[in-house]
């Protein structure tokens, strides 16, 4: 049964505002990006979602397409965002099937908890490659089509969003790899805003805090700590997938036409207070001073 629209997008947005538009999204099988694409499709867009798992990408695409009669959503699987040619081929397939790429979301990401002294060079590189290099490859693969769309369209088009985080603003224990990669994404988006702006492209970042119902929050935030964490978020709650969808709709709509090179933080004010801090119940500084293998400490903390 199709989800009620009220669960994934605000009623403030007029249906049909993205009629004729196509969105290309890496990480599109994930919780946050699939919710964003779902909202865009509900409001008129067609879409290509790109993911590592072929069957999951195709399944999620079918589920998203059900939100609007006549919607076309392609699920492109077996796609590693670390491989530039793979994304070039995916973007070309999207255009061949749907006619254009008007919007792009670079949302593929990986993360896990680990203290720096127990973080291997290979593990650090893996997260940087998925998050930052994957974002770069997404932008490179879609930029020619975004430029073409912007030049040909009178409406909103030629826009890219990067999904980042807030961890890099102040630094947090156990996520050196993720924070470093996300800081690079913020810089990448700013550079594209400067260099591609004259070609009609806007480039912006959405930086979520802890979002309820996502794999990231489930893996990085001890389930028993969610209520306690909420007390330290000025808004008084964890974020929702609907919050993330509304942010994407805003940036891609006419309302976001003059927004370029910015970071839209969607965290209820959490980073200002240290709310939403992840650490799996392992207190600081013990989390980084103990020589006990972190996996063992994590297991104990969750028992």
Please state, in angstroms and rounded to a whole number, the distance separating the CA atoms of residues 200 and 277: 37
Q: Quote the number of domains for the chain.
A: 1
Q: Is residue 151 part of a domain?
A: yes
Report the CATH number at residue 207. 3.40.50.720
Residue 192's DSSP bridge partners are none
| Crossing angle of the two packed helices 31-42 and 241-252, in degrees rounded to 10 | 50
Q: Is residue 139 part of a domain?
A: yes
Please state, in angstroms and rounded to a whole number, the distance separating the CA atoms of residues 207 and 233: 15
| Residue 157 · residue 210 · CB < 8 Å | no
| Pairing assessment for the beta strands 263-266 and 103-106 based on DSSP bridges | unpaired
- Reported residue count of the chain is 303
Domain containing 159: what range? 20-220+238-269
Please state, in angstroms and rounded to a whole number, the distance separating the CA atoms of residues 144 and 152: 12
Scan for tokens 């491989």, then name that residue.
Answer: 83
Please state, in angstroms and rounded to a whole number, the distance separating the CA atoms of residues 271 and 149: 36
Q: Is residue 155 part of a domain?
A: yes
Q: pLDDT in tens for each of the 303 residues of the chain?
A: 457 888 899 999 999 999 999 999 999 999 999 999 999 999 999 999 999 999 999 999 999 999 999 999 999 999 999 999 999 999 999 999 999 999 999 999 998 899 999 999 999 999 999 999 999 999 999 999 999 999 997 778 999 999 999 999 998 889 999 999 999 999 999 999 999 999 999 999 999 998 988 876 766 565 566 677 788 899 999 999 999 999 999 999 999 999 999 999 999 999 998 776 555 456 788 888 988 898 887 777 665
Q: Is residue 149 part of a domain?
A: yes
| Residue 165 · residue 178 · CB < 8 Å | yes
Q: Is residue 274 part of a domain?
A: no
> How many CB atoms lie under 10 A from the CB of residue 188?
20
| Residue 148 · residue 95 · CB < 8 Å | no
Scan for tokens 């997260």, then name that residue.
Answer: 127
Q: Is residue 129 part of a domain?
A: yes
| Crossing angle of the two packed helices 121-128 and 176-196, in degrees rounded to 10 | 30
SS3 44: coil
Q: Is residue 6 part of a domain?
A: no
User: Which has the closest alpha carbon to 111: 216, 225, 184?
Assistant: 216
Q: Is residue 29 part of a domain?
A: yes
What is the reported pTM?
0.94
User: Which has the closest alpha carbon to 49: 75, 30, 23, 71?
Assistant: 75
- Which residues are known catalytic residues? 164, 182
Please state, in angstroms and rounded to a whole number, the distance separating the CA atoms of residues 234 and 129: 33
Specify the DSSP class assigned to residue 81: T
């Amino acid at each position: 049964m199709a989800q009620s629209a009220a669960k994934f997008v605000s009623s403030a947005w007029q249906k049909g505002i993205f009629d004729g538009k196509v969105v290309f999204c890496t990480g599109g099988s994930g919780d946050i990006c699939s919710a964003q694409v779902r909202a865009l499709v509900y409001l008129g867009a067609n879409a290509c979602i790109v993911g590592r798992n072929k069957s999951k990408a195709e399944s999620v695409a079918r589920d998203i397409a059900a939100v609007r009669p006549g919607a076309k959503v392609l699920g492109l699987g077996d796609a590693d965002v670390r491989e530039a040619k793979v994304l070039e081929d995916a973007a070309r397939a999207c255009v061949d099937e749907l006619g254009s790429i008007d919007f792009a979301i670079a949302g593929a990401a990986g993360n896990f908890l680990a203290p720096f002294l127990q973080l291997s060079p290979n593990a650090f590189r893996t997260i940087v490659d998925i998050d930052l290099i994957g974002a770069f490859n997404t932008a490179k693969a879609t930029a020619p089509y975004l430029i073409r769309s912007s030049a040909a369209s009178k409406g909103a088009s030629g826009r890219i969003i990067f999904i980042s985080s807030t961890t890099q603003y102040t630094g947090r224990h156990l996520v050196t790899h993720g924070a470093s990669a996300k800081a690079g994404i913020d810089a990448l988006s700013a550079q594209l805003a400067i260099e591609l702006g004259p070609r009609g492209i806007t480039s912006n970042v959405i930086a979520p805090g802890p979002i309820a119902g996502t794999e990231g929050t489930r893996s990085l935030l001890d389930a028993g700590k969610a209520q306690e964490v909420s007390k330290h978020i000025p808004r008084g709650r964890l974020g929702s997938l609907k919050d993330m969808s509304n942010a994407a709709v805003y940036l891609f709509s006419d309302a976001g036409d003059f927004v370029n090179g910015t970071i839209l933080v969607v965290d209820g004010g959490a980073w200002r207070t240290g709310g939403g801090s992840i650490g799996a119940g392992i207190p600081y500084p013990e989390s980084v001073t103990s020589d006990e293998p972190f996996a063992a400490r994590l297991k104990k903390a969750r028992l």
